[in-house]
Structure 1
């Protein structure tokens, strides 16, 4: 497999992960952390850090919007349940 194909597959898998997380808004970040050791916020931080390593400025808010599919505050208001 060449590097381009590998990158395309990895990008598709990332988009699929985001789609899956979007379809499971009932799963809270705390649940993800307890079971998987990462959450949506971790994923958005990794996205931001990888962009920065490549010289692309992505703010925390922009990265979270990419992962959550909407501004983070809006997602929290709509989907985050009290613990």
Structure 2
């Protein structure tokens, strides 16, 4: 890995990010609460990290714009199309697993 240039690392990381976003768009059946419960992050987390990176580079990006980049559509539209109500079991698991500040 040390043979990679900084540019190669950046390009490969960007490609992996794009593939992850594409995968998450295709798997709209997987709810954010399931991602949080299993992996400790969700689509909203990913959009927040994207926004944080933009702001760290001096680029203002709204929460809605960052979410649209990750979801591939406005967040409210995605929710209306794909988001179901969380079950009591999902909510209980989230209460146990959610990140603590």
The interval holding the TM-score normalised by the smaller chain is over 0.9
| 2:29 maps to which of 26, 31, 45 | 26
Structure number with the bigger relative contact order (C-alpha 8 A, sep ≥ 6) is 2
2:78 equivalent to 1:71: no
CA deviation vs aligned residue, 1:19-44 (integer Å, no higher than 9, x gap): 11011000000000000000000000
What is residue 44 of structure 1 aligned with on the other side?
A: 47
2:25 equivalent to 1:13: no
Consecutive unaligned residues of structure 2, counting only runs of 5 or more, are 87-101
Consecutive unaligned residues of structure 1, counting only runs of 5 or more, are none
* TM-score (norm: length of structure 2): 0.81
* TM-score (norm: length of structure 1): 0.98
Structure 1: which 4+ aligned runs deviate by more than 6 Å? Answer: none
